[in-house]
Amino acid sequence: MTFANIAIIGLGLQGGSIGLAVREFLPESRTRGYDLSAQHRARAAERRLVDEVCTTAAEAVRDADLVIFCVPPGVMGIAAEQVRAGLPANALVSDVGSSKQAVAKALGDALPEHVVIPAHPVAGTENSGPDAGFAHLFRNRWCIVTPPAKVDMVKLSGLVSFWEALGANVEIMTAEHHDLVLAVTSHLPHLIAYTIVGTASDLEDVTQSEVIKYSAGGFRDFTRIAASDPTMWRDVFLSNKEAVLTMLQRFTEDLTALQRAIRIGDGDQLFDHFARTRAIRRSIIEEGQDDARPDFGRGDHEGR
C-alpha cells in the first residue's frame, strides 16, 4: 500500500523533514501541509517543504490517505479536531510525537472513526521550526511504530513501508513499552541537560567567564541538548509523566550511590561504573547507532 496524498500538520523540524524526504524518496506521492503559524507557512512555502501549503488544516487533509501530525505533544488533540471536518473516512492517521500513550489517546478521542497508528521517529536535533528540516533526517534512524492491539494490517504495513522508504529502520512495540524505554533513553537525558545548564548558569557570578571559556568540554554537549524547543519538551514531560518519574527515581538512587562512593573514597566502585558505561558507548558505536558516524545527516544540513 502506497500513499498518494499525504497531509502534514505542523511544518517544523519533523513535518518539514518528512515533506522533503517524501519528495526525494517517494516522488509519486503528493504532499499538502498546514501550520498554525502564518510565518511558518510562508517560510515552508519558500523552502518548498511540501507541494502545497494550505491556509486551513481541513484543506490540507482534502483527499489525504495519510495524515501525519507533527505538532508538539500537548496540542495533538486540538490539531486533530481541526482536520475532522475535511478528513476522508479511509485516511490513516499517524503522528511523530515523542510520547506515545497520551498522544494516541488524544488522537483517538478527537478522531474516533479513523484508524490511528502512532509512530515516533527517534531522529531529531535541537533545532525547530520550518528552517530546521532536512530530507535525510531519518536515514538509518529508528522509527518506533505503536499500533493498537487490534489494527488494520494493510494500513500498518503501509505505514512501515512509508518510514522504510524515508530511510528509517522500523520497530513495532506497545505505546506503554515505548514510553518507558524513551523515558530513560531520551526524556531523562534531556531533563539532566536542562538541569546542569541551569545549575551552571545559576552559579554565573562565580563561573560565567569559565562556563563560556571551557565549554568545549562535556558541558558543551549538554548546552546543545538544553537548547531544544521549550514548548515541545514541556509537553513531553507532562505527557509522559509516570514513566519519567519512575526513571528519575532510579536515576536519583544511582546518583546517590556514586555520590557516596566519592564521599567515602571508593575508587573501585567509581572505576567499575565508568568502565561499564564506556563499554556501553562502544557497543552503541559498533551497532552503528551513533550520530558521529561520518555520513550521518551531513551534506544538506549544517545544524548539528
Ligand X SMILES: O=C(O)C(=O)Cc1ccc(O)cc1
- For residue 61 the three cell numbers come to 487533509
Handedness of CA 60, 62, 64, 67 (dihedral sign): positive
Q: At what angle do helices 101-110 and 175-182 cross, to 10 degrees?
A: 140
232 binds ligand NAI (CB under 6 A): yes
Is residue 94 part of the contact set for ligand X (CB under 6 A)?
no
284 binds ligand NAI (CB under 6 A): no
Residue 225 touches which of ligand X, ligand NAI, none (Cβ within 5-8 Å per kind): ligand X
| Residue 9 interface partner, choices ligand X, ligand NAI, none, CB cut-off 5-8 Å depending on type | ligand NAI
Beta carbon of residue 272, minimum distance to ligand NAI (angstroms, whole number) = 34
Closer CB to ligand NAI, residue 30 or residue 41? 41
Gap between the Cα atoms of 106 and 130, Å rounded: 24
Which one of ligand NAI, ligand X, none is in contact with 75 (Cβ closer than 5 to 8 A by kind)?
Answer: ligand NAI
To the nearest whole angstrom, how small is the minimum distance from the Cβ of residue 82 to ligand NAI? Answer: 6
Residue with cell 497508528: 117
Closest CA to 41 of 133, 129, 127, 126: 129
Tell me the helix, strand and coil percentages in the chain, rounded to 5: 55, 10, 35
The verdict on 18 binding ligand NAI (CB under 6 A) reads: no
Q: Which residues contact 241 (CB under 8 A, 6 or more apart)?
A: none
Residues facing residue 144 across a β-bridge: 120, 171
Under the binding rule (CB under 6 A), the answer on residue 225 touching ligand X is: yes
Per the DSSP assignment, residues forming a β-bridge with 171 are: 144
DSSP E strand boundaries for 54-118: 66-69, 92-95, 115-116
Q: Is the dihedral of CA 101, 107, 110, 111 positive or negative?
A: negative
For ligand X, the closer CB: 35 or 179: 179
Rounded to a whole number, what is the largest CA-CA distance in the chain?
67
**What does the angle CA 44 – CA 10 – CA 14 come to, to the nearest 5 degrees?**
85
240 binds ligand NAI (CB under 6 A): no
200 binds ligand X (CB under 6 A): no
Q: Which does 148 bind (CB under 5 to 8 A by kind): ligand X, ligand NAI, none?
A: none
Q: How many residues make contact with ligand NAI (CB under 6 A)? A: 32
Please, which of residues 98-137 interact with ligand X by CB under 6 A?
98, 122, 124-126
Q: Does 240 bind ligand X (CB under 6 A)?
A: no
Among positions 88, 108, 129, 148, the unique one binding ligand NAI when judged by CB under 6 A: 129
Residues that bind ligand X (CB under 6 A): 98, 122, 124-126, 186, 225
Residues that bind ligand NAI (CB under 6 A): 9-15, 34-37, 40, 70-73, 75, 78-79, 96-98, 120-121, 124-125, 128-129, 132, 229, 232, 236
